[in-house]
A and B are shown apart, each in its own frame.
Chain A
Amino acid sequence: MQSTKLLGRPRKNRRRRTQIIVASILSLLAFIGLFPYLFMLVTSLKTNPQFYHSYLYPVLPFHFGNYVAAWNELEPYFVTSAVVAISTIVGSIILGSGAAFVFARFDFFGRTFLFVLIAILLAVPSVTTLIPLFLFMRDLGLLNTRLVLILPYIAGSTILTVVIMRTFVEQLPAELFEASQLDGAGGFRMYWNMMLPLSLPIIGTVTLLSIVGVWNDYFWPLLTITQNNLRTVPVGLTYFQGQNSTAYGPLFAGYTIASVPLLVFFTLLSKWLLTGIEGGLPT
C-alpha cells in the first residue's frame, strides 16, 4: 500500500484495473455458485406451462400456491426434524457442558483417561456403528420412533460439546473461578453463573453444528424410520421428490422451504463458527 504512494500515478491506475478485474472474476465465481439456487427460487414460483415456456427467466404471475402445496406435504417432516433438533441441542448442551466443566476445572482420578475415552469417539465413523446400532435399536423396539434418532444425535453432539467446550473453559483465566470460589460460590454456582454465560460462543457453535447434523444426516433416518409421517426433512425430501418429480413449481418450492431453517441459523450463528475457524485450528 505504501509502495503505491512512492511509485506514483501509473501504478495507481494499474492497481485500480487489477481491483476491477479481481472483483469481476469473484462476481463470476459467486454467480456460478449461486446460480442453481437462484434457478430454484425462480422456478418455485412457476406453473409447469410457465416453466416449459420460459425455462430460465421469471414470469408473471407468480404462483405462491406452490409453496402451500409443498408445505402441506413437508409439514410432518418438519415437525420430526424440529423435535429431534431441539431435543438434540438441549440434551447435548446439558450433558456436554456439565461434563466439560468437570473435565476442565477439577482434578479427579481417571480424568485424562475418561476424557480420551470420549474424544476417541470422534474418530469412529458412523458407518462402523450404523449396522450394530440398527440391530440394537431394533431389539429395543425403537425403530419408527423419534427416540431412535434423538439418542444417537444427542450422543454425537455431546462428544463434540465436551471436546470443544473443555478446551475453551480451560483457556479461561483460573483467577475468575478462584475469585468466585473465594466469594463462596459452589461448583454448581460456578457452572451456572460463570461457565455457561462465558461459553456462549461455544454454545452457539455447538447449536449450529447440531442443527446442521440433524438437517444433513441421511442414512440413519433412512434406515430406522419407514413410517412416512415420522421421516426427517432430508429423507422426506427425497420421498417428496419421487412424488413430484415433474411438478417443478411445487418441487422447487419444497426445496426452498426445506432450506429456510438452515439458512436462518447460519445467518444467526455463523459468527461464532467463523470466529472458531479464524481463531485457530488444532494442529
Chain B
Amino acid sequence: MVKSDLTYPDQRVVTDQTKANLQPRRKRRTHRHTWLLYVVLLPVFGLLALTNYYPAFSGIYHSFFHWQPGYSSPFAGLSHLKDMLADSLWWQSFVHIGEIFVWGVTLGWIFPLLAAELIITLTSRRLQFIFRTLLIIPFAFPLVVRLLIWDFLYDPNNGLINKVLHDVGLGFLAQNWLGNPHTALLSLLFINFPWIASLPFLIFLAGLQNIPAAIFEAAALDGAGRIRRFWSIDLPILGRQFKLLFVLAIIEVLQYGVASQILTGGGPNYATNVPVLEAINAAFNEDRWGYGATLGSVLFLLILLLSAITLSVRRRKPNEKDLASAVN
C-alpha cells in the first residue's frame, strides 16, 4: 500500500478513503469488545494488588501502629517517626550510604568513562568489540558469586590481598579487612574494582559511540586535541546519561544492603550498617514490625523525593553553543 502511494499519486485518494473507512470500524470493534480489554488487564491488576498495592498501603498504614501481627495493633500515632528521628544508628546508616553514593558517582564513573573513552580511541572495530566484551564479562556473574569471591579476597588468612601483601614485603599492611571497623566500609566500596563491568560503562560507551563522526572530524580539523575533545564535546553530550545514572544511583544506594549483609552483616560495630538492614533488623530480629514498616516507607518517600528533585533540575543541553566553543 505504501508503494502504491508513491507510484500512483491518484490512488492515494483511495488509500485515504480506506483509512477513513477503517477508523470508525476499528472504533466500533473496540467499543463492542471493550469488556474484553478489561478481562485481559484483570489478572495483571489482581496479581499486582496482591503483591504490590496492598503491601505498600499496608506498610504505610501500619507505620502509625504498634504492629503486632496476629493480634490487635494499638495506634502509635507519630511515635515511630519520633523514634526514627532519635535513632542514632539510623542516621549513622545514612552517613554510610552517603559515602557509598559519593564513591559510586565519582570513582564508580571515572573508571567506566576512562575505559569507554579508551575504547572509542581504538581505530579497529574488532578490538573495540573484544575489549568491550572482556571488560563487561564480570557483569554477567551473579551478584552473590561476585560478593563471595571478594569475601574470599579479603579473608585475613588465605585471602588473596593479604597473601600478595606478604609476598611483596608489605606484610605489615595485611589485616582483617572486613573485621576492622576502620577498613570494613572501604573494603565494601572496593568490591568489583575497577568497577568497569557496570551499567555506567555500557551507557557511556553507547553514548560516545552514537556521537556522529563528523563532529570529531570537524573538531580535529580545527585543531582540538583528544583532551580538548573530551572536555568540550564528549562530556557535554553525555549530560543526559549522567542525569539518568545519577537518579539510578540514588535509587540503588537507598536500597544498598546485600553486600553488607553477606560480607559483614552490617558490622563490625555497625561500621557497615545501612538503612535496609536497619529496617529488616527492626522487623525480623526485634519484632518491631511497625517501626520496620515506617523505615521502609520513609525510604520509599526519600526515593520519590530525591528522584523528583534530580529530574526537575534543568539540564543544560549540549546545544550549538557547546559544539561551537568546542570547535573554536
Contact = CB atoms under 8 A, between A and B. Distances in A.
Interface of A: 1-3, 15, 18-19, 22-23, 25-27, 29-30, 32-34, 36-37, 39-40, 55, 95-96, 98-99, 101-102, 106-109, 114, 117-118, 121, 123-136, 138-139, 151-152, 154-155, 158-159, 162, 175, 178-179, 181-182, 187, 215-216, 218-219, 222-223, 233-234, 237-238, 241, 246, 248, 251, 255, 258-259, 262-263, 266-267, 270, 274, 277-278, 281-283
Contacts of B251: 125
B72 interface: no
Contacts of B52: 121, 124, 129, 155, 159
B54 A37 contact: no
Interface string B81-103: 00000000000000000000000
Interface string B124-156: 100100010011011111111110111111000
The 4 A-B pairs with the shortest beta carbon distances in the complex, nearest first, are A266-B140, A132-B55, A30-B134, A133-B55
Contacts of B273: none
B123 interface: yes
Interface residues of B, number: 103
B168 interface: no
Given A99-B41, A178-B26, A40 B121 contact: no
B48 A159 contact: yes
Interface of B: 1-2, 18-19, 22, 25-27, 29-30, 33-34, 36-38, 40-41, 43-45, 47-48, 50-52, 54-56, 58-59, 62, 69, 111, 115, 118-119, 121-124, 127, 131, 134-135, 137-146, 148-153, 158, 160, 163, 192-194, 196-197, 202-203, 206, 209-210, 217, 220-221, 240-241, 244, 251, 254-255, 257-258, 261-262, 275-276, 279-280, 283-284, 289, 292-293, 295-297, 299-300, 303-304, 307
B300 A223 contact: no
Contact of B293 (A101, A132, A178): A132
A30 to B, nearest CB: 4
A216 B115 contact: no
Contacts of A248: 158
